[in-house]
Amino acid sequence: MSHMPAADTALLTLDGDSLGIAALARFAAGATRLALSDAAWDRIAEARGIVDGIVEAGVPAYGITTGFGSQKDFAVDPRRDAAFNLAVLTGHATRAPGPRAPAAVIRAALAVQLNGWARGWSGVRPALCAAQLARANAGVAPDVRYGSSIGASDIVGLSQLALPLVGRAADGPGADSFASAAPPLDALAAKEAMSLLNSNALTLAAGALALAEAKRLLDALDLAAALSLEGFRGNPGAWSETVERAHPQAGHAAAGQALRRLLADSVLWQPGAPRLLQDPLSFRCAPQIHGAARTALAWAWEAWEAALNAVADNPLIDRATGAAVSHGSMETTLLAVVLDALRLALGKAVEASGERVHKLQWPSFSGLPAGLAAEAGAAGGVQFLNLGHIAAAKVAAARIAAQPVSLQYRGQVCDGVEDVGGMAPFAVEETERQLDAAWTALAVEAAVAAWAIDRRTLPVDGLGRGLRDPWQSIRPLLPIGREGEAPFDLGPVEAWLRTWEMPA
């Protein structure tokens, strides 16, 4: 469980327009505290005044003076606003067996929700925002379950998250602290239940953290490939800037620059150093394949950051006209599509990683003994440790997770009103699953590549400048010459890889 940040922790000020993935990830990790800008508080108060006016006038307005969804044709008695809003949250907070949202996702979801309210389109009271802000900064989280959203608002999970605001008991290890982070509100006012549950805050939060992780993974992809080229004694000419000038693609260029930075001052750049004129495509095409993933990530990043600063709350409160405007912006097809594209590209990149692993331990390709064993025999080397099989299994898992989910909705819910669903929650879930498999696959490649470098007895100062420290960090984690004495644990290699940062 995370804890409340120290009072002197840096502030992340939400204004509804500028929340980025990196800043959100830092808040989720407990590195910052939230505040709302003065202008945001003014917008929130102004929009609330419009909602109060609609209620006083008795004007039909979806979710304000009427029911929700298929019950939209029923009026709400303003004298029962508090009871109605509480009933909506309680009724929608059904708990089904399933995984719990991590505390970091809960923290990020609260920030996303508050950032949406900061734009002044929702009509919630400033008191509600203040209570939610206090809970966001408390650094603890109640039990919120995944598995109940089709990408048209995270209604069930957000209802579970909202109940402590009105003093209803929450579940989970952080529930009591979350509930006590601020005094519970006496009651909810008109429209507030709708604003609490009608967004994709959980999906956006989890997806943003996954994209931040994917960005780190792409750097690790380049590191693993560069280590493999050294271990293979491959030809870096295919990764040269000349190729990029002839084939201008932004992602390709970014990947090529990263690979060359890692390989700077490598002996491989010297004439005659590479073993082959042309390497297998998994080596030769690494900049193009990694570049495709970088391009897909850039698209997803742009779409996600736009969504972090957009309002899905329905209806919108237009401060310019005083109108309540019903809409469909809670729909998440774009978010699902960009993650589908990213997973397809990552799946291809992880596939290439697996192929490099096999080529490194394949004598006819690598020129090294079978399995990189120190000497021929029945036991020894990476093949004896089944690293190739582990890589193949993780590549398969990454490819399975790459399958698109955007077209998988088949349901008819809310009495046929909700007849399409964006499927973004499933796209996020599959992305998280793929990232886990990819990290392990890359850990195998890094381990096998480091093993091959050791097997060739290459001097450290002959490696690429960006590879020397990584090789010296990975080498002690490998049981080279001790295969079979104790089970090899790849975990430390993967843990190191997850924390490695690309040199500037």
pLDDT of amino acid 2: 34
What mean pLDDT is reported for the chain? Answer: 92
User: pLDDT-derived band of residue 417, with 50, 70 and 90 as boundaries?
Assistant: low
d(C-alpha 114, C-alpha 19), whole Å: 11
Q: Which of 181, 185, 280, 274 lies closest to 235 in space, CA to CA? A: 274
Q: Packing angle between helix 201-232 and helix 103-118, nearest 10 degrees?
A: 120
pLDDT of amino acid 399: 98
Contacts 24+ apart (CB under 8 A), 171-174: 171/95, 171/142, 171/143, 172/100, 172/141, 172/142, 172/143, 172/144, 173/1, 173/143, 174/1, 174/103, 174/140, 174/141, 174/142
Annotate 243-278 with DSSP letters as a single string: HHHHS--HHHHHHHHHHHHHTTT-GGGSTT-SS-SS
DSSP secondary-structure letter at 324? E
pLDDT of amino acid 480: 92
User: pLDDT-derived band of residue 3, with 50, 70 and 90 as boundaries?
Assistant: very low
User: pLDDT-derived band of residue 73, with 50, 70 and 90 as boundaries?
Assistant: low
Sign of the CA dihedral running 447, 451, 454, 456: negative
List the domains of the chain with CATH numbers. Answer: 10-198 (1.10.275.10), 207-499 (1.20.200.10)
The number of beta carbons lying within 10 Å of the beta carbon of residue 472 is: 12
Query: Burial of 410 by CB count in 10 Å (0-12 exposed, 13-18 middle, 19+ buried)?
Result: exposed
pLDDT at 308 over 80: yes
Average pLDDT value for residue range 382-404: 95
pLDDT of amino acid 409: 78
Q: For residue range 473-497, list pLDDT tens digits in order.
A: 999 999 998 988 899 999 999 999 9
Using omega within 30 degrees of 0 as the cis cutoff, is the peptide bond preceding 184 cis?
Answer: no
pLDDT of amino acid 404: 97
d(C-alpha 329, C-alpha 348), whole Å: 32
Residues 6+ apart with CB under 8 A from 115: 14, 15, 16, 19, 308, 309
Question: What is the pairing mode between strands 32-36 and 316-318?
Answer: unpaired
Backbone angles phi, psi at 237, to 5 degrees: -60, -30
pLDDT at 5 over 60: no
Average pLDDT value for residue range 248-273: 97
pLDDT of amino acid 6: 53
Average pLDDT value for residue range 270-278: 95
Q: For residue range 174-195, list pLDDT tens digits in order.
A: 556 666 677 788 899 999 999 9
Q: Which of 201, 179, 82, 89 lies closest to 134 in space, CA to CA? A: 179
pLDDT at 328 over 50: yes
Q: Which of 266, 276, 189, 216 lies closest to 497 in space, CA to CA? A: 216
Backbone angles phi, psi at 81, to 5 degrees: -55, -45
Please report how many Cα atoms fall inside a 13 Å half-sphere around the Cα of residue 460, on the Cβ side.
9
Average pLDDT value for residue range 421-445: 97
The mean-pLDDT minimum among 196-210, 349-363, 412-426 falls in 412-426
- How far is residue 471 from each of residues 181, 451, 483, measured CA to CA in Å? 47, 9, 19
Average pLDDT value for residue range 346-374: 95
User: pLDDT-derived band of residue 4, with 50, 70 and 90 as boundaries?
Assistant: very low
- How far is residue 493 from each of residues 54, 223, 289, 328, 369, measured CA to CA in Å? 60, 13, 24, 46, 23
Alpha helices in 33-174 (DSSP H): 38-57, 81-92, 103-118, 126-138, 155-162
